[in-house]
C-alpha cells in the first residue's frame, strides 16, 4: 500500500479510502467488521463515514457499527485515520442540522459517543452552509481542536470559491484551515476540474473523490441493466443517455483485460490533486477486487482514449471556456 500526505498536512493516508455508507443498510454488522479488518490487512488506514449514514433517521447507525468494531481491540482505533462529517439533519428540532456553532458542538459530541472514541482525526463539513458566517464555523472548529476532540478539518461538496472563503477566513484567524475536500468526481462527472481542483492545489487541500464509479455506471452496469438500489429513474435515464460512451468504455476495459470498476478508480489515481478515491464496498469480494486498482498503471495512450470517451470540461477555469 502506498501512503501520501493528506493535503499539505503531515498526516499520511492510504491511496484508497474505505467508505462505510453501506454499513448497516446494505451490509450486516458482521460483514462490516470483516471488511474493516480486511481493509487493515491490505494496508488501508483511512476510513470515511458520516453521522447521517445508516438508513435510520438521526441514529447514526454506521458510526455505531464502527464504534463497536473499535471495542474488539487489537489496535484497531490506533491504526485508522478516522473521518466523519457534520451538517445533515439529525433531528426535527431547530439547530439539529447545518453548521451553527451549537450544532457543530453537539454533533461532534454525539459522533464521539457513537464512535466510542475520544477524538476524530478528520472532521468534515458535509455541505456548505450559506446561512452561517465563516467566523462562526471556524470558531466552533477551533474550540473542538483546542479540546482535542478533532485534529484536522475537511469539507465536502464545496465549490471552488467556498474553498477560498474557508481558507482565507482561517488564515485571518491564524488557523490551519481545510486539509481535504470530498467532491463528486469520476469519468462521467468532471465539473470539479474547472475550479475545485485548481483551488485545492493552490491551497494545499487534498481531494477525496466520492462516487468514483458514478453509482455503478462505471462498473459494468450497461450489460446487466440498472437494478436494485441503483434502479432509480434518474440513474436509468443517465445510463440510457450515456450508453454509447459506457459501451465504448467497457470495450476498452475488455481489451485491457480489466474490470471497468478498476479502470475507473485507476483513472482517478492518475489525476492531479487526487489523494484517495473513496471506495464503498458492500461485500468482501468487492473490496478485494477494488484494491487491485493500486496495481494498475494506465499508459498515456489509454488515458488519451479515456479522455476521448469521457471528455472533461477542457481544463481549469477560465481557460476551459474563455480565450
Catalytic residue list: 53
**DSSP assignment letter at 191:** G
Of 146, 152, 149, 101, the C-alpha closest to 123 is: 152
User: Which grid coordinates belong to 49?
Assistant: 463515514
Backbone angles phi, psi at 72, to 5 degrees: -75, -10
Closest CA to 49 of 167, 210, 178: 210
Supply φ then ψ for residue 313, to 5 degrees: -75, -5
Which H or E run includes 125?
A: strand 120-125
Burial category of 178 from C-beta neighbours within 10 Å (exposed 0-12, middle 13-18, buried 19 and up) = buried
Count other Cβ atoms within 10 Å, centred on residue 135.
Answer: 12
Handedness of CA 59, 113, 30, 228 (dihedral sign): positive
Burial class of residue 23, CB neighbours in 10 A (0-12, 13-18, 19+): buried
Amino acid at each position: 500500500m502506498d501512503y501520501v500526505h493528506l493535503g499539505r498536512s503531515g498526516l499520511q493516508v492510504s491511496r484508497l479510502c474505505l467508505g462505510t455508507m453501506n454499513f448497516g443498510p446494505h451490509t450486516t454488522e458482521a460483514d462490516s467488521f470483516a471488511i474493516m479488518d480486511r481493509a487493515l490487512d491490505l494496508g488501508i488506514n483511512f476510513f470515511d463515514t458520516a453521522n447521517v449514514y445508516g438508513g435510520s433517521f438521526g441514529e447514526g447507525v454506521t458510526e455505531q457499527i464502527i464504534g463497536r468494531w473499535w471495542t474488539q481491540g487489537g489496535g484497531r482505533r490506533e491504526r485508522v485515520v478516522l473521518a466523519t462529517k457534520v451538517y445533515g439533519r439529525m433531528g426535527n428540532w431547530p439547530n439539529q442540522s447545518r453548521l451553527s456553532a451549537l450544532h457543530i458542538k453537539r454533533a461532534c459530541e454525539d459522533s464521539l459517543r457513537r464512535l466510542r472514541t475520544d477524538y476524530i482525526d478528520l472532521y468534515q463539513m458535509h455541505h456548505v452552509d450559506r446561512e452561517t458566517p465563516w467566523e462562526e464555523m471556524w470558531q466552533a472548529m477551533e474550540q473542538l481542536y483546542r479540546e482535542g476532540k478533532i485534529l484536522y478539518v475537511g469539507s465536502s461538496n464545496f465549490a471552488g470559491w467556498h474553498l477560498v472563503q474557508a481558507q482565507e477566513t482561517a488564515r485571518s484567524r491564524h488557523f490551519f484551515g481545510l486539509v481535504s475536500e470530498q467532491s463528486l468526481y469520476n469519468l462521467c462527472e468532471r465539473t470539479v476540474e474547472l475550479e475545485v481542483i485548481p483551488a485545492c492545489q493552490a491551497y494545499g487541500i487534498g481531494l477525496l473523490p466520492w462516487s468514483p464509479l458514478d453509482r455503478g455506471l462505471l462498473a459494468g452496469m450497461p450489460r446487466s441493466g440498472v437494478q436494485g438500489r441503483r434502479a432509480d429513474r434518474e440513474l436509468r435515464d443517465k445510463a440510457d443517455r450515456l450508453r454509447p460512451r459506457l459501451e465504448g468504455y467497457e470495450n476498452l476495459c475488455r481489451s485491457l483485460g480489466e474490470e471497468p470498476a478498476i479502470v475507473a478508480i485507476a483513472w482517478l489515481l492518475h489525476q492531479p490533486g487526487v489523494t484517495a478515491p473513496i471506495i464503498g464496498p458492500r461485500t468482501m469480494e468487492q473490496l478485494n477486487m477494488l484494491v487491485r486498482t493500486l496495481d494498475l498503471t494506465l499508459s498515456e495512450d489509454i488515458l488519451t482514449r479515456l479522455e476521448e470517451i469521457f471528455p472533461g470540461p477542457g481544463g481549469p477555469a477560465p481557460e476551459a471556456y474563455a480565450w
